[in-house]
Amino acid sequence: MTMTPRAASWSFHEEDSARIRGVLQDFLRDASARTALLVDRAGQMLVTVGEPPQFDPTAFASLTAADFSANDQLARLLGEPEFGALFHQGERESLYLADIARRVILVVLFDNRTTLGLVKLRMKAAVQDLTAIFTAMFDRAPAAGSTSVDSEFLGEAEDELDKLFGA
Amino acid sequence: MSLINYASREINCKIVYYGPGLGGKTTNLEYVYEKVAPSSKGKLISLATETERTLFFDFLPVDLGTIRGFRTRFHLYTVPGQVYYNASRKLILKGVDGVVFVADSQIDRMEANLEAMQNLYDNMAQHGYDLTKMPFVIQYNKRDLPNAAPIAELDAALNPGWPVEDPARQKPTPDPYRPGEYLVREIEGTWIERVPTFEAVAVKGEGVFDTLKAVSKQVLKTLG
């Protein structure tokens, strides 16, 4: 069948990462939170900043996206356009999740060294900054060739597939 | 929407197993999980009911390793097949790069297959995705059961094909997976394209990797 590259694919570059990390590092310091993660709505981990998480990040990212999407639909049932943020409270560790530009989810992991109030307060500015960065990223016309892998990638990837799944 | 992350040198692709309830979607993932080397797989996550019916999704990351500097992974998802769970099913399709439709070959499940296929097209369209332009394969599962419908019957119902508009592609294209068959061919003056199909007995692992390999290769081609 036809393999039409879809415009919805996007890429995440070195310089985007540096700016985003800067925003998140400032936020973690100001909020005294432990770790900040960015996950896209399809369930893929984009960035982790702060203390390295002790859990499986891939599993965490897929569950985060599902959690956020399910809550999005709950909001719609209530007639709300969205729940912009979610809070999950644990005994020692808690999670605060916020939407970025409808495409990405910011997840903040914090413990009793800080308070929900402080995290929420500091998160507002971080969410604004990140929304501006991501919106610009999505609007940016992809430079020629920038969102595709080089031609030899395909051959090597197919070889790996044959090895992994049996030729 | 495969994501090429140049910052962390990663490529992640999302493949979704779709189909009617009790058709074998979760069984496909369980077999892959069982057989793939531990270094190449992550955790298998199942959000299921107490009776092991999929409630939200199953998820299995499979790692191809580092290819030309990029760590390349396939994220395999299943959806809940039961009609009742359409809201969750639709969510899982978000950002999908490739679809495997797992059909239940049993004659008395034909209606459930058709309903699930229609539901797949509808949910894809609601996300703005065109299934006819995406990596897509069909697996006819449970071929070992005595009441399995003939392949021709399943093809006619679930894989009738769609017209090929692009003149450059209006030429006979052999089906690489079924010798003597064609994916693109002319029928009564119209060029029709079908998707690759695979026979399977997922509980025994038959056809599971053939299916996954075919859709994965199609997805890789979209990255180039």
CA distance B112 to B147: 15
For A167, residues 6+ apart whose C-beta sits below 8 A from its C-beta are none
**Residue A22 is assigned to a structural domain of this protein:** yes
CATH number, position A74: 3.30.450.30
**Residue A137 is assigned to a structural domain of this protein:** yes
- Mean pLDDT value across chain A: 86
**Residue A156 is assigned to a structural domain of this protein:** no
Tell me which CATH homologous superfamily contains domain B3-157+196-223: P-loop containing nucleotide triphosphate hydrolases (3.40.50.300)
pLDDT over 90 (residue A24): yes
Q: Rounded mean pLDDT of A141-159?
A: 72
pLDDT over 70 (residue A119): yes
- Give the pLDDT band (50/70/90) at residue A23: very high
Q: Which residues pair with B61 in a beta bridge?
A: B75
**Residue A106 is assigned to a structural domain of this protein:** yes
- A164 touches B at CB < 8 Å: yes
pLDDT over 50 (residue A66): yes
**Cβ-contact B197, B139 below 8 angstroms:** yes
Which secondary-structure segment (H or E) carries B28? helix B25-35
Q: How many domains does chain A have?
A: 1
**Higher pLDDT pick, A51 / A136:** A51
CA distance B101 to B25: 9
Token readout for B145 is: 């059961």
Q: How many residues does chain A have?
A: 167
pLDDT over 80 (residue B155): yes
**Residue A165 is assigned to a structural domain of this protein:** no
- Give the pLDDT band (50/70/90) at residue B51: confident
**Residue A160 is assigned to a structural domain of this protein:** no
Q: Rounded mean pLDDT of B33-45?
A: 93
**Cβ-contact A166, B209 below 8 angstroms:** yes
What confidence score (pLDDT) does residue B120 get?
97
Q: Rounded mean pLDDT of B196-223?
A: 96
pLDDT over 60 (residue A2): no
What confidence score (pLDDT) does residue B167 get?
92
DSSP3 helix / strand / coil % (chain A, rounded to 5): 45, 20, 35
- Give the pLDDT band (50/70/90) at residue A103: confident
Least Cα separation, residue A148 to chain B (angstroms): 5
**Residue A148 is assigned to a structural domain of this protein:** no
What confidence score (pLDDT) does residue A4 get?
33
What confidence score (pLDDT) does residue B170 get?
93
Q: Rounded mean pLDDT of A7-24?
A: 80
- Give the pLDDT band (50/70/90) at residue A141: low
C-alpha atoms less than 13 angstroms from C-alpha of B90 in its C-beta half-sphere? 19
**Residue A64 is assigned to a structural domain of this protein:** yes
DSSP state of B168: G
pLDDT over 60 (residue A143): no
Domain with A90 in it? 14-142
pLDDT over 80 (residue A7): no
CA distance B142 to B124: 26
Q: Rounded mean pLDDT of B166-178?
A: 93
Of the candidates B43, B62, B195, the beta carbon closest to that of A1 is on: B195
The pairs formed by B150-159 with CB atoms below 8 angstroms and a separation of 24 or more are B151/B197, B151/B199, B153/B110, B154/B103, B154/B105, B154/B113, B154/B197, B155/B194, B155/B197, B157/B110, B157/B113, B157/B114, B158/B101, B158/B103, B158/B113, B158/B114, B158/B117, B159/B194, B159/B195, B159/B197
**Cβ-contact A136, A109 below 8 angstroms:** no
Q: Rounded mean pLDDT of A77-86?
A: 91
- Give the pLDDT band (50/70/90) at residue B79: very high
Q: pTM for the full model?
A: 0.87
Of the candidates B7, B57, B72, the beta carbon closest to that of A66 is on: B57
Token readout for A154 is: 């395909």
What confidence score (pLDDT) does residue A148 get?
65
A102-106, B88-92, B103-107: which has the highest mean pLDDT? B103-107
What confidence score (pLDDT) does residue A91 get?
94
Show me where the domains of chain B are located. 3-157+196-223, 160-194
Token readout for B152 is: 């021709």
Residue at token pair 């209006």: B170
Q: Which of B94, B137, B183 to mutate to test the interface with A (most CBs of A within 10 A)?
A: B94
Please choose, from the candidates B27, B19, B24, the residue with its C-alpha nearest in 3D space to the C-alpha of residue B113.
B19
What confidence score (pLDDT) does residue A58 get?
87
Quote the percentage of chain B above a pLDDT of 90: 80
pLDDT over 70 (residue B143): yes
Q: Which of B5, B9, B170, B178 to mutate to test the interface with A (most CBs of A within 10 A)?
A: B5
Least Cα separation, residue A125 to chain B (angstroms): 24
Quote the percentage of chain A above a pLDDT of 70: 89
For A70, residues 6+ apart whose C-beta sits below 8 A from its C-beta are B56, B88, B91
C-alpha atoms less than 13 angstroms from C-alpha of B66 in its C-beta half-sphere? 4
Of the candidates A13, A44, A157, the beta carbon closest to that of B64 is on: A157
pLDDT over 50 (residue A145): no
CA-nearest residue to A160 within chain B is B64
What confidence score (pLDDT) does residue B9 get?
85
